[in-house]
């Protein structure tokens, strides 16, 4: 996924009402300790993007065939539409946050009526 597509995905979520002052996004340049120190805290989600190769596809298919039972506490949805990895990754991120996130018009509109 290229950066401009990912930025479009973020615009989509901000359009849904994810408040920009509630969260921020940054690049992680590596997993070395000194590079991780550059990442603002707290970290809620890390999206790991990598190129698909024959080897990664082979590993993915092998894992898919193992069909492990995952915790019911983890939100997961299988991507069934091509070129939707950014959207699905952000849905996974939002779905697995363990505290309340205000979603703008959803929070102030629908939820505030309760």
| pTM, two decimal places | 0.59
Average pLDDT of span 75-98: 81
Class (C level, CATH) for 3-113 = alpha beta
Cα 72-96-104 angle, rounded to 5 deg: 135
Grade residue 110 by pLDDT with cuts at 50, 70 and 90: very low
pLDDT single digits (tens) 45-84: 888 777 889 999 999 889 888 877 777 788 888 888 888 8
What percent of the chain has a predicted confidence (pLDDT) above 70? 72
Grade residue 34 by pLDDT with cuts at 50, 70 and 90: very high
Rounded distance between C-alpha atoms, residue 77 and residue 70, angstroms: 12
- Pull the structure tokens for residue 90: 């952000």
Domain spans of the chain?
A: 3-113
């Amino acid at each position: 996924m290229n950066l401009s597509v990912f930025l479009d995905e973020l615009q989509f979520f901000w359009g849904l009402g994810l408040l920009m002052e509630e969260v921020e996004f940054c690049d992680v340049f590596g997993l070395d300790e000194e590079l991780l120190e550059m990442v603002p805290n707290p970290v809620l989600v890390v999206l790991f993007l990598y190129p698909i190769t024959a080897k990664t596809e082979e590993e993915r298919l092998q894992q898919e065939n193992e069909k492990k039972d995952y915790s019911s506490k983890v939100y997961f949805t299988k991507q069934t539409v091509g070129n939707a990895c950014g959207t699905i990754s952000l849905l996974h991120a939002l779905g697995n946050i363990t505290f309340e996130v205000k979603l703008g018009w959803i929070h102030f509109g629908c939820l505030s009526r309760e």
